[in-house]
Amino acid sequence: NDQVNGNPATPAVVDVTIGDNGGLANLEVNTATGKLKVPAGATPGTYEVTYRICVKGEASPCDTAKVKIEVTSDAAPTTTINANDDPNTSVAKGGSIEVLSNDRLNGEPVTKDKVTTTIDNNGGLTGVEIDPATGKIKVPVTATEGTYEVTYKICEKQNGTPCDRAKVKITITSDVIHTIEANDDPAVTVGKGGTVTVLNNDTVDGNPATKDNVDISI
């Protein structure tokens, strides 16, 4: 519920520090998430903690707020994550590869909404990336044919840890898969004999569609 310039405060825009731990020794801030981290050895009880936020990298402006934390005797559950190597896969240039289906978070199947997926080692496959919309490995249309061993990393999304790594061997074929997206256009008023531009919001392989890279038909 904190804000910077009327927008939600996040770890990307503010620095968080403990102003007064209220007697909760060894309380700290997880700088990756902006959350307060209660130590595993904390004594059960209720603590009123004062924290301070400042615009990231700046000494001011800053503000303070309080939060009442009740520490119970129950230990926080341990999060487990397992990334498993994937079978060898052949894919055309511009294609995608599903790698999360055999990975597990707390024993349950992993989905793109539960983990953050990144390329840890591209194995020489320049331009390979993770499609944030699907969680799949995306092979660039400019990829050179061959076989590459790519290492990816998954981390529990909410806390940023734990993490694990796995490998997938990718064979790039000579075929090319192009992606094209035509989007509906706003209403247009035009006189008789006039023209209407419709390509401005369309894309080919993620790049703007032009008369030179697409054929248009009615």
Instruction: Give per-residue pLDDT as tens, 70-84.
Output: 998 876 678 899 999
User: What is the identity of the amino acid at 128?
Assistant: V
- Assigned domain for 138 exists: yes
* Residues 45 and 126 placed together within one structural domain of the fold: no
* Residues 10 and 49 placed together within one structural domain of the fold: yes
- Assigned domain for 119 exists: yes
* Integer angstrom CA distances of residue 167 from 88, 94, 100, 102, 160: 10, 20, 11, 12, 20
Beta-bridge mates of residue 30: 35
Beta-bridge mates of residue 20: 50
User: What is the identity of the amino acid at 83?
Assistant: A
- Assigned domain for 26 exists: yes
pLDDT band at 206 (very low <50, low <70, confident <90, very high): low
209 is in which domain, residue-wise? 179-218
| Residue 156 DSSP class | E
* Residues 63 and 102 placed together within one structural domain of the fold: no
* Residues 105 and 167 placed together within one structural domain of the fold: yes
What six digits make up the tokens of 120? 């840890």
Q: Which of 40, 71, 102 is the last residue of a domain?
A: 71
- Assigned domain for 76 exists: no
The pTM (predicted TM-score) of the whole model is 0.54
Cα distance between residue 7 and residue 4, in whole Å:
5
* Residues 166 and 114 placed together within one structural domain of the fold: yes
* Residues 155 and 184 placed together within one structural domain of the fold: no
Q: Concatenated DSSP letters for 8-29? A: E--TTTEEEEEEE-TT-TT-EE
* Residues 65 and 117 placed together within one structural domain of the fold: no
Q: What pLDDT, in 10s, does the model give residues 132-159?
A: 989 999 999 999 999 999 999 999 998 8
Interval 28-42 mean pLDDT: 88
* Residues 86 and 131 placed together within one structural domain of the fold: yes
Query: Is residue 143 within 8 Å of 161, Cβ to Cβ?
Result: no
Cα distance between residue 54 and residue 9, in whole Å:
10
Beta-bridge mates of residue 129: 138
* Residues 171 and 188 placed together within one structural domain of the fold: no
Question: 145: domain CATH number?
Answer: 2.60.40.10
Q: Which of 1, 154, 2, 172 is nearest to 80 (CA)?
A: 154
Q: What pLDDT, in 10s, does the model give residues 79-135?
A: 899 999 999 999 999 999 999 999 999 999 999 999 999 999 999 999 999 999 899
